[in-house]
Structure 1
Amino acid sequence: MRFLATKLQTENVPVADIRPEAVDEKNDAETGAAPREHIDSDSDSDAISVTAQAGVQKAEAAAKVWTRSHLIAAYVLIWCIAFIDTMQQGMTTALTPYVTSSFLQHGLTAATMVMSSLIGGIFKLPLAKILDIWGRPQGFAIMVIFCTIGLIMMAACQNVQTYAAAQVFYWVGYNGMTYTIGIFVADTSALKNRAFMFAYVSSPYIATVWVGGPLATAFLNGPGYKWGFGAFAIITPAITFPLFALFYFNYLKAKEMGMLPQRGDSGRTVLQSIKHYLVEFDAFGILLICGGFALILLPFSLYSYQADRWRSPMIICMFIFGGLLLIAFIIWEKFFAPVTFIPFELLMDRTVFGACILAGNIFISFYIWDSYFPSFIQVVNNLNITQASYIFNIYSIGSCFWSLIVGVCVRWSGRFKWIALYFGVPITILGVGLMIEFRQPDVNIGYIIMCQIFIAFGGGALVITEQMAVMAATSHQYVAVVLAVEGMFASVGGAIGSSVAAAIWTGVFPKKLAEYLPPESQPELANIYGQLPVQLSYPVGSPTRIAINKAYGEAQKTMIIVATVIQIISIVSVVVWRDIKVKDYKQVKGRVI
């Protein structure tokens, strides 16, 4: 890519406009090597890449001045941040049904996740450009601010709309923080060890899975759920500041040592800079795609609140205008956008595209069967919130534990495709499919636990291998953007899954409640449907509780059948990957693990 060197000397060259050289896939398949067009042109030297954007150059320069003690300290701090964040996330997941129920809107549990998942994932692409143009520390600090604002809003919310808006801020910040930390890991680890290091960053889930439920119970039975969010609004910036300081210290150290290429003053005024970055981050494209997806997905969870349901003028208009916005986004990106939002050139690589489709698909399936799972095990299996959190979080603890083993396997074998194709996808399909039979009333909860373990091991394998696939298929300077694209597909998949789950729930659960409830409980239909505490208030074994359980079972069966069928796409998306050998592939420079 030497011919691009002069173009990339300025910071305003978008990653998405850079097209890699052609691939000789036949030779790649025969040798098992990484694609040749994705190997840095100066990877044999340890010099700062002159073909990289400013943020990548800063990261490479910082890696060259890291001391061993600073690198170790950074990974310790990352683990501590992940521990606090995952503990807070577990608490939030356990509390969300009670938050929506407090506003008499338990049915909107999944809907609150639609916009937050959607925007949280799509924002990763502008964030990738922030990291590549301005730098890793700056992007990390911005995400901490977003996360803190979201927590403050959740602590102060007075209605479900404010809570949903707070979730958007929180998930943009939370996803952005974890994404930025992931980019730091990619900057400071050899490709053959990266699967294990990514698993290391996720390992706090193994411990925090036991904390989220009791913590939620303590706040719910004590000062209230709002105090839980408020406490973490203080803890989050406090725990993240030391890592930011360490990032920035080493960046300044590299700058003082003259290791960064000199860049001239842009000469832009403030207004010109605002216009420049609005174009650089394709702000208009972001508005089009976010608005389009939101208007198409939200009706799935809102239609049951309209008198005419699917025939409601509001629902019809949302579908029409959402479709028009997505069409406008495609036209804008194809013909008019000065800087494209999605790096279509990178997506042309079949390994990158297949990994992104896999990311989206497993999140669609996951959120379909997972959205009302905490409520199900509390109502149908009669577990308290702490016990329910243990079952609900088997996926987190199992997938994070298994991903460590997957990391070792990738380091040992030097390859990752076989893990996804022969283990991850089949065992995930098995676990989800078995839930059709076992997630029903009067079924021993041990079978549900078994299914959760299968899905956890499959998920741990798939998440790590899909990330390895997108990173191995490109060079260091494109790692941030391909991980952002992969994360965007996952988040859009999560939003689609949440929407489908909400549509099934609002279409099946209240209908079955009306069918099964005894006559004396029919006047309470709306309260039973809208509030989890009301559902739990009926004694186990009473006719009303049995009716509620049966309605849950009918809704869950429909959800899981859909989630299982969708998994077929996962098979195809893994088959198209190249079988890339990462063992001897040098991708990053400086002091790395």
Structure 2
Amino acid sequence: MFVVPIFCSIWLTSSRIWLIMFVDAMQQGMTGSLTPYVTSSFSRHSLTATTSIMSSIIGGLIKLPLAKVLDIFGRPQGFFVMIWFMVVGLVMMAACQNVQTYAAAQVFYWVGYNGVSYCCGIFIADTSALKNRAFAFAFINSPYIATVWIGGPLATAFLGSAGGFRWGFGAFTIITPFVTLPLFFVFWLNYRKAKKNGMLIKRESKGTFWLSLKYYFIEFDVIGLLLIAGGLALFLLPFSLYSYQSKGWSSALVISMLVVGIVLLIGFALYEKYVAPKTFIPFELLADRTVLGACVLAAVLFVSFYIWDSYFFSFLQVVNGLTITEASYVANIYSIGSCFFSLIVGLLIRWTGRFKWLALSFGVPLTVLGVGLMIHFRQPNVNIGYIVMCQIFIAFSGGTLVICEQMAAMAATTHQYVAVVLAVEAMFSSIGGAIGSTVAAAIWTGVFPKKLGQYLPAESQGNLTSIYGSLTVQMSYPMGSPTRNAINQAYGDAQKTMLIAATVVQVLSFIAVFFWRDIKVKDFKQVKGLVV
């Protein structure tokens, strides 16, 4: 007799999660359109990709400690802290006075967003049978289908207002708590109810404050977390910052960052293997070839995506002459296409009970085809219809592979480890994104200014620095003028190098998927209490 109330409660909570994802997707679509203008306002357009490196690293790594926070302190507490991080990040974006502050704001925001989405994902995993979970995850991400049409016009409206991009971020500091706090109260009420009924395991006191601090310091593997976060950051950032040093790669700052980064990464590996009492990465799960293959695929997809996507929005505006709204539509074909097609993939997995065949025979080949074709089509004087075609290919294949990789990771483990394995998969995705942004920034700073210097006519050579540093300056030259043609050609050369790198990386996708076990999800028995 309790089936109907429970069913309604779960679907009501799911609808709240959908609303949260809708607002976040809308905000991210707007941010993607605004970021080139934010960096250009400080004459640092070339750092567009760099702003996401630290946020990708830290935002991805935070999910593993968050899994323990949820386990030790409770889901509502962890969820509330993540909301706070999101709001702080948005406030910092609205108030930033330089690129460094904007990049730091991205870290706060993405730590919060990744934490919120992780909590929502665990709820969906806990309340759905494995055979239906692909469709459930696809449904929760379906808001991107609608928000694609909102982000560009929203960015245009805010840029045209008196407050500019700052009020765009400021508005979401109000909207975000409004849509997320209701779900926090749902989690809190259920937590209180479970605690009152004695369903929560009471954790023993660790003694004094210092003993408790020591316990959690070890439990969260703080040293290991700092080593890998610092190592990745110091190793990756020089690839996008070297061009701002007078001596380039010979700069003492660049060399020291690379050396210290490598030392920290080696130190992380040695510490985790020989010293750490508790490792925050569950290496025993990665011993499973399906889990490892899913994580590698996640990393490869994000490396490739961030290489070709980092300066894509700027390319559409400068080379193709699109408005912010038009460029946002084209740039977000991936979002709408992948989210739409993932619903179909979810139904196919529900029907066939398998996912490997979809990834290996359709997802990976179509991704390689789409990215590879853009090497030729993402150039000046090429009809934009061909770019749209490539984006559709990548969108459909991306929607297939993201769902399949999550299903592979979850199907290869017991339900007890679903939360952890999703956190590990997300960590690989985020680190892959950081690597992709680093490669994109390195190629851009290495190719674009050099080619710009070669192609610019003599009368514009004195403006090379301002052209390189600002999207608005680049678009200020009329289409068809010698200077605009030179800028467009430099864009084309940089994009070609990026796309070659993105295509080569995708070859690893075949290897990752090949090693998956062909698991039939229909064979899994439903966990007690599931209703979807």
TM-score by length of 1: 0.88
Partner of residue 363, structure 2: 424
Q: Give the one of 487, 490, 506 matched to 1:548.
A: 487
Q: Deviations over 1:493-551 (max 9, x none)?
A: 00000000000000000000000000000000000000000000000000000000000
Q: Give the one of 316, 319, 328 matched to 2:255.
A: 316
Structure 1 distance, partners of 2:211, 2:392, is: 54
Partner of residue 366, structure 1: 305
Partner of residue 181, structure 1: 120
Residue 348 of structure 2 is aligned to residue 409 of structure 1: yes
Deviation at residue 267 of structure 1 after TM alignment: 4.3
Q: Give the one of 434, 441, 448 matched to 1:509.
A: 448
Q: Give the one of 400, 409, 418 matched to 1:470.
A: 409
Aligned runs of 1:220-259 on 2, under 5 Å? 220-222=159-161, 223-259=163-199
* Alpha-carbon contact 1:70-1:246 (below 8 Å) kept: no
Deviation at residue 245 of structure 1 after TM alignment: 1.0
Aligned runs of 1:159-174 on 2, under 5 Å? 159-174=98-113
* Alpha-carbon contact 1:64-1:589 (below 8 Å) kept: no
Structure 2 distance, partners of 1:508, 1:190, is: 49
Q: Give the total of aligned pairs.
A: 530
Q: Deviations over 1:459-509 (max 9, x none)?
A: 000000100111111112211111111001010000000000000000000
Percent identity among equivalent residues? 69
Residue 220 of structure 2 is aligned to residue 287 of structure 1: no
**Any unmatched runs of 5+ in structure 1?**
1-62
SS of match in other structure, 2:93: helix
Deviates more, 1:353-362 or 1:311-320: 311-320
Deviation at residue 133 of structure 1 after TM alignment: 2.5
SS of match in other structure, 2:246: coil
Partner of residue 488, structure 1: 427
The runs of at least 4 consecutive aligned structure 1 residues that moved more than 4 Å come to 63-66
Deviation at residue 264 of structure 1 after TM alignment: 5.1
Report the RMSD for the aligned CA atoms in angstroms.
1.4
Q: Give the one of 86, 92, 97 matched to 1:153.
A: 92
Residue 509 of structure 2 is aligned to residue 567 of structure 1: no
Which is helix-richer, 1 or 2? 2
Relative distance call for 1:81 and 1:424 in structure 2 (3 A) is same
* Alpha-carbon contact 2:206-2:212 (below 8 Å) kept: no
Structure 1 distance, partners of 2:460, 2:302, is: 37
Deviates more, 1:531-540 or 1:303-312: 303-312
* Alpha-carbon contact 1:364-1:495 (below 8 Å) kept: yes
Residue 64 of structure 2 is aligned to residue 125 of structure 1: yes
SS of match in other structure, 1:430: helix
Deviation at residue 274 of structure 1 after TM alignment: 2.1
Partner of residue 590, structure 1: 529
Deviation at residue 67 of structure 1 after TM alignment: 1.8
TM-score by length of 2: 0.98
Residue 275 of structure 2 is aligned to residue 336 of structure 1: yes
Q: Deviations over 1:201-235 (max 9, x none)?
A: 10000000000000011111102111111111111
Relative distance call for 1:582 and 1:209 in structure 2 (3 A) is same
SS of match in other structure, 2:521: coil
Structure 2 distance, partners of 1:320, 1:258, is: 52
Structure 1 distance, partners of 2:304, 2:341, is: 20
SS of match in other structure, 2:138: helix
Structure 1 distance, partners of 2:29, 2:283, is: 35
Amino acid at match of 1:255: K
Partner of residue 457, structure 2: 518
**Any unmatched runs of 5+ in structure 2?**
none
SS of match in other structure, 1:563: helix
Structure 2 distance, partners of 1:492, 1:64, is: 42
* Alpha-carbon contact 1:64-1:590 (below 8 Å) kept: no
Partner of residue 352, structure 1: 291
Amino acid at match of 1:502: A
Structure 1 distance, partners of 2:410, 2:461, is: 56
Structure 1 distance, partners of 2:130, 2:439, is: 37
Partner of residue 71, structure 1: 10
